[in-house]
Amino acid sequence: MGLRSLCAAVVAALLAGLLQTTVSAAAAQEVRHPRQEWLRQSTAGLFLHWGMFTAPKHLDCAEWERDVTGGGWTPDYWIDEARKLGASYVVLATFHSRLGYARPWPSKVPGSCATQRDLLGELVEAGKAKGVEVVLYMTDDPQWHSEQGVQMLDSKAYSDHRGEQVDLTTREGFGKYSYDLFFEVMEKYEDLAGFWIDNDNEYWERNRLYEQIRQLRPNWLLSNNNEDTPIMDTVSNEQKTGMFPSYDYPAATFTPMPRLSEACYKLPNTGDWWYDGGSHAVDTRLNTGRYVANAGSSIKSLMAETPMVNGKMPAQQEAFNNFMAGWVPPIRESVQGVEGAGYLYGGMQPGFWNDGAHGVITINPKTGRQYVHVVTKPRADFVRLRDNGYRVTGVKDLRTGEQMRFSQSGGHLTIEGITSWDEYDTVFAVETAGQQGFYTGVRASATSSKAGFPAVNLTDGSHETYWDASAAQPVSVSLDLGRRRQAAFLAVSQRESSPTHARVSFGRPEDSARIKDYQVTASDDGRTWWHVRTGALPSARGTRFIDIGRQEARFLKLTVLGTWSGPQAPVHFKELKIDEIRVGHSYPRGLRAGALEAEHAARSGAARGESCAACSGGRQVTGLGGGESNAVTFRDVSVATAGNYRLQLDLTAATATSVSVSVNGAAPLSATVPEDRADVPAPTSLAVPLTAGRNTIKVFGTGRLGLDRVSVGGLPPASYTPKTTLTVQPHGVQWAGPGQQSVKITARLRLDADDQVDDVSLVPTVPAGWTLTGNPATAPSMRLAGLLEGTWTATSPAGQDVGTVSLPVGASFRLLGADRGVSGAVPVRTRPADRLFVREAEDSANTFGSTGLSNCGACSGGEKVRNIGGSPDAAVTFPNVVVPAAGSYRLFVRFTVNGPRSYFVTVNGGPPVEVEVDGLGNNTPYVTEIPVTLNAGANTIRFGNDNAGAPDLDQVAIG
């Protein structure tokens, strides 16, 4: 039986229900499978966008193939370039909607360009000979069929071949055509590794294409772009940008381990995904950082390069490949054959460390060796990170082989005396004696759980089962230790099913579903509880730690008061999920304490040393309240050059208080210290002037203040502003009527970074002639998750239209004595005289369901709403559309679209009316007009399409 005949048999079996698999079962089956093993062992892949429209563009298939061959194309070149990058696979994107739908293989199925030379077959054979897998890109999208002014899809030829009329320019027709191509490829190329599929086609899904691929080629991989489809082996996250640091690609992903995940990104800084005639620069810093950061989250780096017509890479991309061929080998063991640490596979905590340092941890699951990748070096000569209970026995610089000094206490590993930094990634190999200090047998319960995801999953030892809070907030988890025991900290591993970097990705709002504000209480009997600690956790990946001092209790309760997600991200709003919570009873201790410990400094007055399990070195100095007479003095704080430095003081404070620092006998500098625990240190920083060589630093304060340690590092660069979220409403252009108008403005500033900012002020600024009612919102200081809110009314001059103005809202604050700020604005314009009502689609007065906002430079207000349609919740609703009288009106709809699509418009809950539109290019606004009947006063208008994608929406108006 041929493969095509077998295909028919499989279809029949599927339809008969013999191969039926539920979606949930399929999802469980496809998370792990032996066919995935080669990809799990991979670090990277090479993505090649190359086809007819590779510059110089070809519109004739035969001419393109002639120039490919005549230019000297060879498959071995691509395979060798992949190996330079440490890539285990190549994805070939030639049957691509923006590259002419060319097929790089001889095809018996007419409909678009197909080569006579078997380019795909040659590439597969070359890869097989050198241990590199080849995956074929397939598109579902016919909408770019005539982008170049020439029809690239031949509906007549395919219709004659199939014996029925098929329009390839429609999704249904293109689905039939591409469906046939899948089976042709499966029959011809046994050694292909699988398909990389750019989204789904309804025809494929209806005819169970993926299930048939599983039956016919069970060892092939399936990957889907931008969405996590259960039957697929991988989810690929395309071109995420805007994170801080910019290389931290995992911050924008949303797929928990052990699900296979790719980061798909362009290596060239600018230009198209394919060669457009230019040799665009490659940012080595950015892309080495991505490579390492992805490895630290078990994400595969699928790096897109832009080969020319003859297959050769542009010079700057080839140069990057050559650089990687020399840069990776010395640290190969730390990025290949490893998993991301701090998650499912164990390991220390990745992310932001001391003094601006940032990096990831990788772990070898077989040997247990961990690798600390310092991608952004600190402004100090040491790196300090959470050890997650691992007792460290040795540290060496992987590139140089140098054995490093280190200390360990208070839950932290400090690697000291670092003088040699790699420009892109300093790697330390860390040997450990395993994890210690955690209780086993802890039982968990919760005040709310979603069916199938109970609280017992929190302490079952598996990151693959989890607790779902069922959208309840606040919500509490109680941990029963079995009897009264000592507890020191909680280690919380949250589900990595939401990004930590909030952005609009393909029109979908994203935000972190992780814990923001929390409270910990304790009890001996489960009925009477005492307060232990209140605080906030950063929106960050990896295990998070809550130190609680030395507690003696049977029960601990973690109450989650709120998460980082907001209502603008309905997919993640209140969707708290936690894999594991472990209770730690002690911290690993090293053989030596780190430098600048308070207990080693000179003390005066009532200052005294005492035990502190959570402190560095296991001790602190207390009794520093009451002024300068009770102090700790460090007499040898040395720096190489004179200047201003960041002095970090790790302090304990049982009450709200302040700390003062005198440097070399100068007048003291002071900072506020918020109330926390007397046995858990937290950082407070000051900018201090130091002289070259030795300095004397004296520390004292008010209230019940204790000092654990101090450290010195450089100040943040002038370009650094702590991450904040400034929400200004109303959002979007406000279209005002004629004459004097008032605009109510509300603003909220949230500090998202683990920094302290001081002298915070939030206030709008109005143009000359306008008046502002309301005072600035101010705060003396803010720390992680702190909020500052204000409301004002801005009024335009009497007797005038507002014209076109912007009402900026600014937040200013000081960071270590330096001025910083962020801003937003409310744009206001007078609506046109022939319009009774105008509102932007992105206006905060609307409701958006599961749609999302997206930038659009050509659109009114610079934004639009995307991802409308496909389900009932993917709709935009305009409430409070006000007209003066009941009657018939003209509704003007401003939109962008590529190809024919439809809105269904519902007015005041009435029957939906289909509005069919067409256009070319999702960045070109068009306007259509429909009649509507409205009531006097407020009306509601909804734009959606429950069954198919609708156009993007820019603005509506009533005339």
State the span(s) of the chain assigned CATH 3.20.20.80.
Answer: 41-329
pLDDT category of residue 308 using cuts at 50, 70 and 90: very high
If pLDDT is split at 50, 70 and 90, which confidence band does 505 have?
A: low
Instruction: Enter the tokens of residue 687.
Output: 């900018």
Q: Is the pLDDT of residue 11 over 70?
A: no
Per-residue pLDDT at 567 exceeds 90: no
- Mean pLDDT to the nearest integer, 333-345: 97
Quick check: 427 and 334 in contact, CB under 8 A?
yes
* pLDDT tens per residue across span 173-214: 999 999 999 999 999 999 999 999 998 899 999 999 999 999
Cβ proximity of 599 and 561 under 8 Å? no
Select 598-714's CATH number: 2.60.120.260, 2.60.40.1150, 3.30.420.40, 3.30.1490.20: 2.60.120.260
% of the chain exceeding 70 in pLDDT: 96
| Residue 611 pLDDT class (50, 70, 90 cuts) | very high
Q: Is 468 helix (H, G, I), strand (E, B) or coil?
A: strand
Contact of 540 with 351, CB cutoff 8 Å: yes
Q: What is the DSSP string of 249-318?
A: GGGG----TTSEEEEEEESBSSS-SS--SS---B-HHHHHHHHHHHHTTTEEEEEEE---TTSPPPHHHH
User: What is the pLDDT, as a whole number, of residue 317?
Assistant: 98
> For the chain, how many helices (H) and strands (E)?
13, 55
Rg (CA), the chain: 31
Q: pLDDT tens for residues 787-842? A: 999 999 999 999 999 999 999 999 999 999 999 999 999 999 999 999 999 999 99
Query: 307 and 313 in contact (C-beta within 8 Å)?
Result: yes
Specify the fold of 338-435. Immunoglobulin-like (2.60.40)
CATH for the stretch 443-584:
2.60.120.260
The chain-wide mean pLDDT, for the chain, equals 94
Average pLDDT over residues 925-934: 97
DSSP string, 785-802: T-EEEEEEEEEPPTTS--
Query: With 80 as the cut, is the pLDDT of residue 12 above it?
Result: no
The residues of the chain that CATH labels 2.60.120.260 are 443-584, 598-714, 832-959
Confidence of residue 471 (pLDDT cuts 50, 70, 90): very high
Kindly report each contact of residues 925-928 with a partner whose C-beta sits within 8 Å and lies 24 or more positions away, as own/partner.
Answer: 925/856, 925/858, 925/859, 925/860, 925/894, 925/895, 925/896, 925/954, 926/894, 926/895, 926/896, 926/897, 927/892, 927/893, 927/894, 927/895, 928/892, 928/893, 928/895
Rounded to whole angstroms, the maximal C-alpha distance in the chain is 98
- Per-residue pLDDT reduced to its tens digit, 19-58: 333 333 444 457 899 999 999 999 999 999 999 999 999 9
Instruction: For residue 13, name the pLDDT band (cuts at 50, 70, 90).
Output: very low
Beta-bridged to residue 944, according to DSSP, are: 904
Q: What is the DSSP letter of 81?
A: H
493 to each of 68, 443, 578, 730, how far by Cα in Å? 51, 16, 6, 37
Any idea which residue has 């095809």 for tokens? 107
Tell me, what's the pLDDT at 17? Answer: 41
Residue 731 to residue 840: CA distance in whole angstroms: 9
Q: Are strands 405-409 and 412-416 parallel, antiparallel or unpaired?
A: antiparallel
Average pLDDT of the segment spanning 290-315: 98
**How much is the pLDDT for 10?**
43
Describe the chain by its helix, strand, coil percentages, rounded to 5.
15, 40, 45
Query: Tell me, what's the pLDDT at 504?
Result: 63
Classify 452 as helix, strand or coil: coil
pLDDT attached to residue 899 = 82
Q: Does domain 832-959 have CATH number 1.20.1050.10?
A: no
For the chain, where do the domains classified as CATH 2.60.40.10 start and end?
717-830
Give the mean model confidence (pLDDT) for residues 924-928.
96
Q: Is the pLDDT of residue 16 over 60?
A: no
CATH topology of domain 41-329: TIM Barrel (3.20.20)
Domain with CATH 2.60.40.1180 in the chain: 338-435
Segment 437-458, tens digit of pLDDT: 999 999 999 999 999 999 999 9
As a CATH number, domain 717-830 is: 2.60.40.10
**Confidence at residue 590, expressed as pLDDT on a 0 to 100 scale:** 82
User: For the segment 213-269, what is each residue's pLDDT rounded down to a tens digit?
Assistant: 999 999 999 998 877 888 999 999 999 998 999 999 999 999 999 999 999 999 999
Q: What is the pLDDT of residue 199?
A: 85
Confidence category of residue 507, pLDDT binned at 50, 70, 90: low
Residue 171, C-beta contacts closer than 8 angstroms, at least 6 positions apart: 140, 142, 201, 202, 203
